[in-house]
Amino acid sequence: MMAKARRHLARDPVMHALIRRHGPCELTPHRRSPYEALSRAIAHQQLNGRAAETILARFVALFPDARFPAPAAVLAVRATTIRRAGFSRAKVRALKDIARHAVKGVVPTRRACRRLSDEEIIEHLTQIHGVGRWTVEMLLIFTLGRLDVLPVDDFGVREGFRAAYGRRTRPTPKALRAYGDRWKPYRSVAAWYLWRAASDARRQAK
């Protein structure tokens, strides 16, 4: 599948150059449940990876009988207890709301997700406090392995496009969405290469 995606994307000369530079796409989804993936995404919002993982480790340690706390367990524990792990009040509210919606069945299982389109999953999950479209797009790409998601609001994707395509400014989300139509049905793979281009630009700027 990835070889087919590369051949399709390589019709775009700039994408072809990125593929030659960075090699095969290493987009490998992890096996977490959508509930766990959303909870972890909340922890990572506006924090660097190391700080977020430290807070997550403290959070998980509050529930020593599970690899990751079940939704019912999160609902049962006091908000002040979760706050002590290092979460802000807004993030505690989001974690509680994710758990609440998981218990109600709004957060689908991996199996249930197979029957839902990308947009249906986005519509379901953005009902939850603190969960926006970008968060769900990350879940679609990195948890569910959906291959045709272009997160046009993502800073790294837009910056990668600017750098790779030699633009003076980053494209608007609307412009990037329009340009990205040529990458269908492998826009997630295109995004992976644009993230690599953004990383190259950061290194060159140092």
The residues annotated as belonging to the active site are: 154
User: How many other CB atoms sit within 10 Å of the CB of residue 48?
Assistant: 8
Note every long-range contact of 58-67, with CB atoms under 8 Å and residues 24 or more positions apart, other chains counting.
Answer: 58/84, 58/85, 58/86, 59/85, 59/86, 59/87, 61/85
Largest pairwise CA distance in the chain: 54
Q: Which amino acid is at 104?
A: K
3-state helix, strand, coil in the chain (%, to 5): 65, 0, 35
Q: Any idea what DSSP says for residue 49?
A: H
- Using CA of residue 176, residue 126, residue 88, residue 64, what is the dihedral sign? negative
The Cα–Cα gap between 1 and 3 comes to 5
Question: Cis peptide leading into 185, omega within 30 of 0?
Answer: yes
Q: From 129, 64, 52, 60, select the one nearest 95 (Cα to Cα).
A: 129
